[in-house]
Amino acid sequence: MTKQKKWLLSCIAIAAFLGVVFLLEQTIPKSSNWSMLFTVLEKGSIYALVAVSMNLVNGFTGLFSLGQAGFMLIGAYTYAIFTIPPDQRASVYQYFDGGIITFMLPAIPSIILAGIVAGFFAFLIGLPVLRLKSDYLAIASLGFAEILRAIFQWDKLGPITNGSNLLRKFTTYHTSLYPIIAAGICIAIIVLVINSSYGRAFKAIREDEIAAEAMGINLFKHKEMSFVISSFFAGIGGALLAMFQTTIQASVFRAALTYEFLLIVVIGGMGSVTGSIIASYLFIACREWWLRFLDSEQYIGDFKVPLLRAGFRNVVFSVVIMIIVLFFSRGIMGTNEFSWQGLGGLIRKIPTIPARLSRKFKKEAQVNE
């Protein structure tokens, strides 16, 4: 397959996908069970963006950073603060006399601003934190995310952040295509970074810091770059998440949220962009949609299925996660990327899968003995 042909194929696939989403949106009523599909597409895209941004730092640059929730928080707040219409501010900021900001910005500049503010904070936080090594970097970045959360909930900043109260009534989107396209553009830019000369330098740092430095790569500068770019897109992801949820509150952006993205990145494969994207959609679809029936009582004929009640869905979901983590420790994609040849090969291989699996299990059983 030539390069142009591959491009063409990809463009057609993307256009077809967007077209199908558009058509479905016109035809599926909001009340149907299938409307969950849109939740999955929207939230999945937003998660994919944040997961890919996290992969840039953790998977491609080899830094163990756990600050993603903090940067999403900054992005979400920046976006929300600047897009609440002035005439609604009195009701949103009811405990703070309508807040101190009296204007609003259009959505797209606000989204970009969200990224810039997140990136700026990442730059400042990176100055001390990126000098630390592996696990120390992880705990320090996690710590900064927690500090940011406390600051945003601080009463004294209430006129800007509304303290620990909800921010709402800001501009949101009206079609599922919006987050899909926005996330798509951002992921495309991240892919361009990864495949550029700088992306190669990031990978060199991941492979061997000392050798990278001996090749003239300024470790600190490049780590800072990767960290800021990643946070910029995490900020945009936060803004999109705010739009998706229509309200936001600092308490959502806990360390647990960062862990979710780390899970997605690892399940998809560290260092694989397509892996992160696929894992994001699967993660959201599984948790929000496919397993939903487990949360309510179900009957098969007259038989009441035991155990099913609120909360069971998440138990099953975490068991599924554990199984994936234990049995596919390299992730869905490893460090590979999606390619048309790969897909073709996979389709041809499908008939042989049962045989291969049984061989694999036999081999593992032998190893375990």
Partner 1 sequence: MDFFRDNLPYILAGISVGGQYALIAIGYTMVYGILRLINFAHGDMFMIAGLMGVYAVTWMPLYLAIPFVIIFTVVLGFLIERAAYRPLRNAPRMSVMISAIGVSYLLQNLALYVTGGLTKTYPTIPWISNTVTVFGATTKVVTIVTPILTIALVVLLMILIHKTKIGMAMRAVSRDFETSRLMGIQIDSVISMTFIIGSFLAAVGSILYFSNYTGVMPTAGAMPGLKAFVAAVFGGIGSIPGAVIGAFIIGICENIIKGMGLTTFSDAFTFAFLIIILIVRPSGLFGEKNIDKV
Partner 2 sequence: MSKENVLRVSDVTMQFGGVVAVNNFSMEVNKGEIIGLIGPNGAGKTTAFNCITGVYAPTNGRIDFMGETIVENHPSGKMKNLYKGENAGKYTKAIAPTPDKITKKGIARTFQNIRLFSSLSVFENVLIAKHLHAKQNIFTATFRLNRREEQRMREESMALLKEQGLDKFKDDVAGSLPYGLQRRLEIARALATDPKLLLLDEPAAGMNPQESDELMEFIRQIRDEYDLSIFLIEHHMQLVMGVCEHIYVLDYGIKIAEGNPEEIQNNPKVIEAYLGVDE
Contacts with partner 1 by CB under 8 A lie at: 64, 128-129, 131-133, 135-136, 138-140, 142-144, 146-147, 149-151, 153-155, 210, 254-256, 259, 262-263, 266, 270, 309-312, 314-315, 317-319, 321-322, 325-326, 329-330
Phi, psi angle pair for 157, to nearest 5°: -90, 5
Q: List the one residue from 219, 263, 308, 316 that touches partner 2 (CB under 8 A).
A: 219
State the binding partner of 212 from partner 1, partner 2, none, CB within 5 to 8 A by kind.
partner 2
Cβ-Cβ contacts under 8 Å for 237 (sequence gap 6 or more): 46, 47, 49, 50, 53, 72, 75, 183, 186
Nearer to partner 1, 196 or 318 (CB): 318
Question: Rounded to whole angstroms, how far apart are CA atoms 140 and 125?
Answer: 10
State the binding partner of 314 from partner 2, partner 1, none, CB within 5 to 8 A by kind.
partner 1
Cβ-Cβ contacts under 8 Å for 201 (sequence gap 6 or more): 212, 217, 222
138-153 as b/e: b if 16+ CB within 10 A = bebbbbbbbebbeebb
Q: Does 112 bind partner 2 (CB under 8 A)?
A: no
Minimum CB–partner distance for residue 33 and partner 1 (Å):
23
Q: Does 217 bind partner 2 (CB under 8 A)?
A: yes
| Segment interacting with partner 2, rule: CB under 8 A, options 26-34, 212-220, 251-259, 295-303 | 212-220
Q: Comparing C-alpha atoms, which of 236, 243, 226 is closest to residue 187?
A: 236
Q: List the one residue from 211, 322, 325, 343 that touches partner 2 (CB under 8 A).
A: 211
Q: List the one residue from 142, 182, 183, 229 that touches partner 2 (CB under 8 A).
A: 229
Q: Does 212 bind partner 2 (CB under 8 A)?
A: yes
State the binding partner of 135 from partner 1, partner 2, none, CB within 5 to 8 A by kind.
partner 1
Phi, psi angle pair for 130, to nearest 5°: -75, -5
Phi, psi angle pair for 247, to nearest 5°: -135, 155
CA distances from 259 to 34, 187, 254 (A): 29, 20, 9
| Segment interacting with partner 2, rule: CB under 8 A, options 28-36, 82-90, 128-136, 185-193 | 185-193
Nearer to partner 1, 20 or 315 (CB): 315
State the binding partner of 13 from partner 2, partner 1, none, CB within 5 to 8 A by kind.
none
Q: Does 203 bind partner 2 (CB under 8 A)?
A: yes
Question: Rounded to whole angstroms, how far apart are CA atoms 98 and 81?
Answer: 12
Nearer to partner 2, 29 or 216 (CB): 216
Q: Binding pattern to partner 2, positions 342-361, x when CB under 8 A?
A: --------------------
Question: Rounded to whole angstroms, how far apart are CA atoms 316 and 324?
Answer: 12
| Residue ranges that bind partner 2, judged by CB under 8 A | 189, 192-193, 196-198, 200-201, 203-204, 207-208, 210-220, 225, 229, 335
